[in-house]
Amino acid sequence: MPGTVLLLAAAPAGRGCLVDAASVLPVLAAVPPAVLSGADTANVVELADPLEPQAVLTRLRAAAAAPGPLTVFVTGQLQLDRRQRLPHLALARTTPATVRYTGFPWHWFKDELRLRPAGATAFVLDLHADTETWEWLRANPLDTGRNNAVYGRIAAPPSRRSLGTPAYMKTVATILRSGHRPPLDQLHQQALGRLPQESVGYVLSAQGPEAGDPHALISAAVAARRHGDADALAAHHELNAVRAHGPASEEALHWSEVRADLAMFAGDPVRSCRAWLAVATTRLTAGQAPDAPAVEAAVDRAHHQWGRIDDPARARELGPALAELRARVPGRREGALDHVHKHLSQLQTLGS
């Protein structure tokens, strides 16, 4: 089965830039795709200094949907948004004041990849942090998802008036240009061993889930197209979480979100949209803010699945509930509520 490789190098233009991220792409591009992926053949997608977070999200979703192994190489810098203090990958137009709207929220990586099969996804990261983010990382680990292997480093802020270099990623690429990809944990150690100790920063190393993890079992069922089995297993854990912690608990909502994603994988956008609408409503009713990441994600995913419903009658049925939620949760993309109203009007015309 062919592999997929996503090469992402991003940094702000101008004075806010901490690292010459794009300089690593020619070195990585010189590595044969099969070596980059560790598969016999591979498709490589390259994103150099992307401008829009939605463009990155589109490419990430496409990569996540590929059935074979996925390796994501990310070089760039982390910044916190001022409102929620959540880490974002800074993109070309990102400034400290606009991170929330121009950066790529780091939790989107976790959200988009969480139901890929266990052991099928790996990150190789070479990130730089500004001073504020560096302090945040002392108390908050960078979460890339429980189902994914992660290797790399986060470098400390460079000294004033100097530009950091993606030394870790360039070293990884240099090793891979030999034509052989060792296991990623060995590749990671070899790369770290060639860097000056004072430049390493925070080391990232996680091998992914154990074989008995329920998420791994569900992912395996999805990969085998046993969608009913996957949903039944998730429903079992959801019921246990509701009984133990209550329907509005994070434990129960997590499994509700898993089931919403499973409906998407099963090709049932009606069920997926309805499930995401329920998750968003439960979170809002429990007092979560309309701009909380989990609330925004639920409404965005409901909106995305609603747009994939082919049956106009079913789409008309769910449209008003989505419009009501969109009025409360506009999200990060301009015109989302207008899009719902416009599409709903078109659906009403079809039904008349």
The model's pLDDT over 10-32, given as tens digits with 9 standing for 90+, comes to 999 888 888 999 999 999 999 99
Q: Same domain for 178 and 296?
A: no
> What is the CATH number for 305?
1.25.40.10
**What is the spatial distance between Cα 133 and Cα 154, in angstroms, rounded to a whole number?**
10
Q: What is the pLDDT of residues 126-185, one digit of tens each?
A: 999 999 999 999 889 898 887 889 999 999 888 777 788 899 999 999 999 988 889 999
Whole-number pLDDT of residue 118: 75
Whole-number pLDDT of residue 28: 92
Whole-number pLDDT of residue 351: 61
Q: What is the pLDDT of residues 204-256, one digit of tens each?
A: 988 876 666 788 788 878 878 899 999 999 999 999 999 999 999 999 999 99
Q: Same domain for 125 and 251?
A: no
Q: Could you tell me if 170 and 164 are in contact, meaning their C-beta atoms sit under 8 angstroms apart?
A: no
Q: Same domain for 242 and 186?
A: no
Give me the domain span that covers residue 59: 3-206
**What is the spatial distance between Cα 222 and Cα 265, in angstroms, rounded to a whole number?**
7
Whole-number pLDDT of residue 133: 94
**What is the spatial distance between Cα 114 and Cα 34, in angstroms, rounded to a whole number?**
24
Q: What is the pLDDT of residues 73-131, one digit of tens each?
A: 999 999 999 888 999 999 999 998 999 999 999 999 998 898 787 788 999 999 999 99
- When divided into structural domains, the chain yields a total of 2
Q: Lowest mean pLDDT of 43-57, 187-201, 233-247, 332-346, name the range.
A: 332-346
Helix H segments across the chain?
A: 25-29, 33-37, 53-65, 99-102, 107-113, 131-137, 167-176, 184-193, 214-223, 227-245, 250-265, 269-285, 293-306, 312-328, 336-351
Mean residue pLDDT of the chain comes to 90
Q: How confident is the model at residue 199 (pLDDT cuts 50, 70, 90)?
A: confident
Whole-number pLDDT of residue 309: 92
Q: Could you tell me if 344 and 319 are in contact, meaning their C-beta atoms sit under 8 angstroms apart?
A: yes
Block residue for tokens 């309309």? 290
Block residue for tokens 């910044």? 79
Contacts of 324 (CB under 8 A, 6+ apart): none
- How much of the chain is in helix, strand and coil states, percent to nearest 5? 50, 15, 35
**What is the spatial distance between Cα 225 and Cα 221, in angstroms, rounded to a whole number?**
6
Average pLDDT over residues 257-262: 93
Query: 150, 177, 206: which is the final residue of a domain?
Result: 206
Contacts of 136 (CB under 8 A, 6+ apart): 80, 85, 87
CB atoms within 10 A of CB 201: 21
Extract the tokens encoding 241: 């979480």
Contacts of 44 (CB under 8 A, 6+ apart): 4, 5, 7, 29, 33, 36
**What is the spatial distance between Cα 349 and Cα 81, in angstroms, rounded to a whole number?**
41
Element (H, E) at 179: none
Q: Same domain for 112 and 171?
A: yes
**What is the spatial distance between Cα 63 and Cα 129, in angstroms, rounded to a whole number?**
26
**What is the spatial distance between Cα 148 and Cα 121, in angstroms, rounded to a whole number?**
5
Q: Is the pLDDT of residue 352 over 60?
A: no
Whole-number pLDDT of residue 324: 93
Beta pairing class for 42-48 and 70-80: unpaired
Q: Same domain for 182 and 236?
A: no
Q: Same domain for 143 and 14?
A: yes
**What is the spatial distance between Cα 317 and Cα 312, in angstroms, rounded to a whole number?**
9
Q: Same domain for 219 and 325?
A: yes
Q: Same domain for 263 and 238?
A: yes
Beta pairing class for 3-10 and 70-80: parallel
Q: Same domain for 145 and 227?
A: no
Q: Same domain for 185 and 274?
A: no
Radius of gyration of the chain (CA): 21
**What is the spatial distance between Cα 252 and Cα 158, in angstroms, rounded to a whole number?**
42
Q: Lowest mean pLDDT of 109-118, 175-184, 259-268, 302-311, name the range.
A: 109-118
> What is the CATH number for 10?
3.40.50.1460
